[in-house]
């Protein structure tokens, strides 16, 4: 009988769970997942946990195939040369195959006072911190949300719907990745909720104190609690471990998600930079990337060459409180179309997709063989993008093609 390989997944988010379940279908692998918490965190619901409408944690036994071993710990170093992981507890773990799926978190704000006084919303602990700090607020105390990307929009709407006076600072624009028509729909919903949106360069926060926020144009806002959602980054584990990363610290891979340094290591989710050109950080890309990373491992273990594949995202969905939402449709290169569904229908679609994500993970846990049926939508434009001037050089990196049009779009 051929040798059994130890496959270890670092990080049990959307990408890591999908990869672990898919790998568990192989009799040639033992599968271990390392994650710092004993529960799966539905990160896409953390704004609801912060405002108390949803728990957002699920026991791993509900989303992981029974044969996947869970180790509750944190990987502190990947020692690729000796095929081992160092864990925070002092334990060392051997690996033959590694899936790097450590996700993302809020970047430390550089604005004076923000790191001390503002509250981020990217992890379970930050979400609980925000909830506790909201509980101790007097009624009518003003809140400020800094950053109007999707997380800022979702949390600001959730807070406003609960009756808090909210100001959303959209210094970089309201929903910059959305179509202007979708932005108008969102702006109207904020009006209905009684929330104030301040847009434009003058609305950038330049200093934060315990009870106020100072703006670039000199205005000062009274703010009993300031929520900071401007900027996400990734853990620096890959960089600290001497692996090739992009400027943000994402692991640089080929289009089959294989590390450019070591073909036993693949990456998936927010922490992966295929061809140095990462996808938008989102659950919608993390899951198919988890499936693709697992496929690459399975092909290599079977002695076959992995296929580079590009991924197309169908759009993005945002909640605007519990009673409204928007579903933004996009082209296959992730640029937004005018077409979107707003209001109550938008909320129903958003809730359906969010709830369906968890149903999907639970179903995969019981029937991990279903995962290959998750057809990856292909993005033909990514091939063109990678072939464009300034794109990563064409050629074989760690055994599979980068910048090879056929390899990208099959």
Ligand X SMILES: Cc1cc2nc3c(=O)[nH]c(=O)nc-3n(C[C@H](O)[C@H](O)[C@H](O)COP(=O)(O)OP(=O)(O)OC[C@H]3O[C@@H](n4cnc5c(N)ncnc54)[C@H](O)[C@@H]3O)c2cc1C
Binding site for ligand X (CB under 6 A): 10-16, 34-36, 41, 43-44, 46-47, 74-75, 101-104, 121-122, 151, 154, 235, 237, 269-270, 281-284, 286, 317
Nearer to ligand X, 26 or 48 (CB): 48
Angle of helix 283-301 relative to helix 343-366, nearest 10 degrees, comes to: 20
Q: Residue 220 CB, nearest distance to ligand X (Å)?
A: 27
Nearer to ligand X, 21 or 104 (CB): 104
Residue 82 is classified by DSSP as: G
Q: Residue 159 CB, nearest distance to ligand X (Å)?
A: 12
Q: Residue 10 CB, nearest distance to ligand X (Å)?
A: 5
Q: Which alpha helices (DSSP H) does 277-342 contain, by range?
A: 283-301
Angle of helix 14-23 relative to helix 343-366, nearest 10 degrees, comes to: 30
Q: Residue 121 CB, nearest distance to ligand X (Å)?
A: 5
121 neighbors 155 (Cβ within 8 angstroms):
yes
Any residues with CB less than 8 A from the CB of 368 and at least 6 apart, and which? Answer: 21, 22, 24, 25, 65
Q: Residue 86 CB, nearest distance to ligand X (Å)?
A: 10
Nearer to ligand X, 249 or 403 (CB): 249
The C-alpha angle with vertex 333 and arms to 362 and 200, in degrees rounded to 5, equals 100
Cα(280)–Cα(195) distance, integer angstroms: 27
72 neighbors 36 (Cβ within 8 angstroms):
yes
The C-alpha angle with vertex 375 and arms to 6 and 151, in degrees rounded to 5, equals 85
Handedness of CA 299, 401, 104, 330 (dihedral sign): negative
Please, which residues bridge with residue 39 across strands?
59
Nearer to ligand X, 32 or 214 (CB): 32
Nearer to ligand X, 190 or 232 (CB): 232
Closest by CA to 282, choosing from 129, 180, 379, 149, is 149
Query: How would DSSP label each residue in 112-146?
Result: TTHHHHEEE-SSHHHHHHHHHHHHTSPTT--EEEE
Nearer to ligand X, 211 or 246 (CB): 246
Angle of helix 283-301 relative to helix 14-23, nearest 10 degrees, comes to: 30
Q: Residue 278 CB, nearest distance to ligand X (Å)?
A: 11
Q: By three-state DSSP, how is residue 103 classified?
A: coil
Q: By three-state DSSP, how is residue 278 classified?
A: coil
Nearer to ligand X, 14 or 190 (CB): 14
Q: Residue 384 CB, nearest distance to ligand X (Å)?
A: 25
Residue nearest to ligand X (CB): 13
Q: Residue 223 CB, nearest distance to ligand X (Å)?
A: 20
Nearer to ligand X, 177 or 394 (CB): 177
In 205-296, DSSP assigns E strands to: 205-209, 212-215, 220-222, 225-228, 232-233, 251-253, 265-267, 272-274
Nearer to ligand X, 70 or 384 (CB): 70
Nearer to ligand X, 214 or 336 (CB): 336
Q: Residue 76 CB, nearest distance to ligand X (Å)?
A: 7
- Around Cβ 218, how many Cβ atoms within 10 Å? 8
Distance (Å) of CA 207 to CA 113, 114, 276: 6, 7, 33
Q: Residue 389 CB, nearest distance to ligand X (Å)?
A: 30
Nearer to ligand X, 26 or 39 (CB): 39
Q: Residue 405 CB, nearest distance to ligand X (Å)?
A: 27
């Amino acid at each position: 009988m051929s040798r059994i390989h130890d496959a270890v997944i670092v990080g049990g988010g959307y990408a890591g769970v999908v990869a672990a379940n898919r790998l568990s279908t192989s009799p040639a692998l033992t599968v271990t997942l390392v994650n710092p918490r004993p529960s799966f965190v539905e990160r896409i619901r953390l704004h609801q946990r912060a405002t108390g409408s949803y728990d957002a944690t699920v026991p791993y036994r509900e989303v992981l195939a029974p044969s996947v071993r869970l180790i509750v710990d944190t990987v502190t170093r990947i020692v690729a040369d000796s095929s081992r992981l160092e864990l925070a507890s002092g334990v060392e773990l051997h690996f033959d195959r590694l899936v790097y799926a450590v996700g993302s978190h809020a970047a430390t704000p550089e604005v004076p006072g923000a790191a001390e006084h503002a509250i981020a919303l990217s992890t379970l602990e930050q979400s609980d911190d925000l909830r506790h700090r909201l509980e101790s607020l007097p009624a009518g105390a003003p809140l400020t949300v800094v950053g109007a990307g999707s997380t800022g929009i979702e949390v600001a709407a959730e807070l406003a719907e609960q009756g808090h006076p909210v100001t959303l600072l959209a210094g970089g624009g309201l929903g910059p990745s959305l179509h202007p028509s979708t932005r108008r729909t969102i702006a109207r919903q904020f009006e209905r909720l009684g929330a104030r949106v301040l847009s434009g360069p003058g609305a950038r926060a330049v200093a934060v104190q315990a009870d106020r926020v100072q703006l670039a144009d000199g205005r000062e806002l009274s703010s009993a609690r300031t929520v900071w959602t401007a900027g996400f980054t990734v853990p620096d584990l890959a960089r600290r471990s001497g692996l090739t990363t992009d400027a943000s610290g994402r692991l640089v891979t080929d289009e089959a998600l294989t590390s450019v340094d070591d073909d036993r290591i693949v990456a998936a989710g927010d922490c992966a930079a295929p061809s140095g050109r990462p996808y938008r950080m989102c659950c919608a890309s993390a899951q198919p990337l988890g499936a693709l990373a697992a496929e690459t491992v399975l092909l290599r273990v079977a002695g076959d060459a992995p296929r580079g594949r590009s991924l197309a995202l169908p759009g993005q969905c945002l909640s605007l409180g519990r009673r409204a939402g928007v579903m933004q449709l996009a082209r296959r290169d992730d640029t937004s179309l005018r077409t979107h569904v707003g209001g109550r229908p938008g909320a129903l679609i958003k809730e359906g997709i969010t709830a369906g994500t968890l149903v999907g993970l639970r179903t995969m846990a019981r029937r991990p063989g279903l995962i290959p049926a998750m057809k990856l939508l292909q993005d033909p434009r990514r091939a063109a993008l990678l072939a464009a001037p300034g794109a990563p050089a064409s050629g074989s990196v760690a055994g599979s093609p980068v910048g090879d049009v056929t390899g990208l779009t099959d």
